Amino acid sequence: MKDLSLRRKEPPPATRKGQAQRNIFQKLAAVPHTVWTVMFIAAPMLFVLYFAFTDAEGNFSFANITNLGQYTNVFILSIAFALIATAVCLVIGYPLAYFMSRQSLRAQKVLMVLIMLPMWCNLLIRTYALMALLDNGGLLNSLLGKLGLEPLPIVGSYFGVILGMVYDFLPYMVLPIFTAMTKLDYRYIEASHDLGCNNLQTMTKVVMPLTLSGVVSGVTMVFVPSISTFYISQKLGAGKIDLVGDTIERLFQNVSTYNVGAAMSLVMMILILISLTIMNKFSDEEGGMVP
């Protein structure tokens, strides 16, 4: 997901040896990944499924699912936060990507690095950095204090958590949209001017529809981590804000609630799957960038 530079790996150089031998090598090359997928992706999913539908004694049961009703508010809050964060990222990211795509190639490269730079830094560290800026004793509030103003209680507020999501996931919105923008043939823009569109109309009638695939990718790549995050809400919510991710984490830490945690994870996965399906409906046939 992070390999947005689209730098393809060169295929192995063609040897003069037999085709069959190459096929074996190609199959062998896939083995580590297959093992990895089975062990760390497929198997855990099956475990989740198993635990979600069994009780502590290992008997089949729907109780875990039906018990999730008490967490309705947590689900609603998580979805709302993810939606807001995604919308904010889109509103900031789309114009930014458009602006970037209109620059010279040189400037584009510089801007690209600036956008990518935070992504090279670990998410936890970035979130800590944001905390250091916004906390009560942080840079912002000590500055406000020196000016004789009240400190802003950002950490621990809804605003703080959403800010953290936007801050952490904005690059995932900008990059796919930027890629779609650079692929947009300038002739379409000229054609729309030719047919009578002013700049605004060109934007809404041509540029936006033709970069929709980038928007779909960006929205997905921001929405999915936002809805499942637990770290951002823990740190920037100062432990006061409970999202689905936090709840799942807590449920798994206690042996007695292990099965409820699995059920919640399952519902979460289904939610994400549904939203991916909906997003894919918006993307046209060329926009196959949704992970």
Partner 1 sequence: MEKETLISLRGVSKAFDGETILDNISLDIHDKEFVTLLGPSGCGKTTTLRIIGGFETADSGEVFFDGKEISQVPPYRRLVNTVFQKYALFPHLNVYENVAFGLRLKKTPEEEIKQKVQEMLAMVNLKGFERRRVTTLSGGQQQRVAIARALINHPRVLLLDEPLGALDLKLRKDMQTELKKIQRATGITFIYVTHDQEEALSMSDVVVVMSGGHIQQIGSPVDIYNEPVNAFVADFIGESNIVDGFMLADRKVRFSGHTFECLDEGFAKNEPVDVVIRPEDVDIVPADKGMLNGVVSSVTFKGDYYEIIVDVQGFKWMLETSDYAAPDTTIGLFIEPEAIHVMKKSEFSGQFGDYSSFSDELEHLSDPEEEEEE
Q: Is 196 in the site for partner 1 (CB under 8 A)?
A: yes
Q: How many residues bind partner 1 (CB under 8 A)?
A: 20
Nearest approach, Cβ of 195 to partner 1 (angstroms)? 4
Orientation of helix 139-146 relative to helix 123-134, angle to 10°: 10
Nearest approach, Cβ of 179 to partner 1 (angstroms)? 17
Q: Which is nearer to partner 1, 247 or 283 (CB)?
A: 283
Which range in 18-26, 194-202, 241-249, 273-281 contacts partner 1 by CB under 8 A?
A: 194-202
Nearest approach, Cβ of 185 to partner 1 (angstroms)? 7
Nearest approach, Cβ of 94 to partner 1 (angstroms)? 17
Q: Work out the number of other CB atoms within 10 angstroms of the CB of residue 61.
A: 17
Q: Are 42 and 256 in contact (CB under 8 A)?
A: no
Candidate list 5, 26, 142, 201; residue touching partner 1; CB under 8 A: 201
Helices (H), 147-291: 158-183, 186-194, 199-202, 208-210, 212-228, 231-236, 244-253, 258-282
Alpha carbons 111 and 90: distance in angstroms, whole number: 18
Q: Which is nearer to partner 1, 232 or 279 (CB)?
A: 279
Alpha carbons 289 and 162: distance in angstroms, whole number: 25
Torsions phi, psi of 8, nearest 5? -80, 145
Candidate list 58, 209, 239, 288; residue touching partner 1; CB under 8 A: 209
Identify the H or E element spanning 112: helix 105-116
Site for partner 1 in 210-249 (CB under 8 A): 210, 212
Q: Is 198 in the site for partner 1 (CB under 8 A)?
A: yes
Q: Which is nearer to partner 1, 201 or 253 (CB)?
A: 201
Nearest approach, Cβ of 206 to partner 1 (angstroms)? 6
What single DSSP character describes residue 157?
S
- β-strand partners of 60: 54
Q: Is 33 in the site for partner 1 (CB under 8 A)?
A: no
Q: Which is nearer to partner 1, 192 or 265 (CB)?
A: 192
24 phi-psi bin (left φ>0, alpha ψ -120 to 50, beta other)? alpha
Q: Binding residues for partner 1, per CB under 8 A? A: 185, 187-188, 190-198, 201, 205-206, 209-210, 212, 284, 286
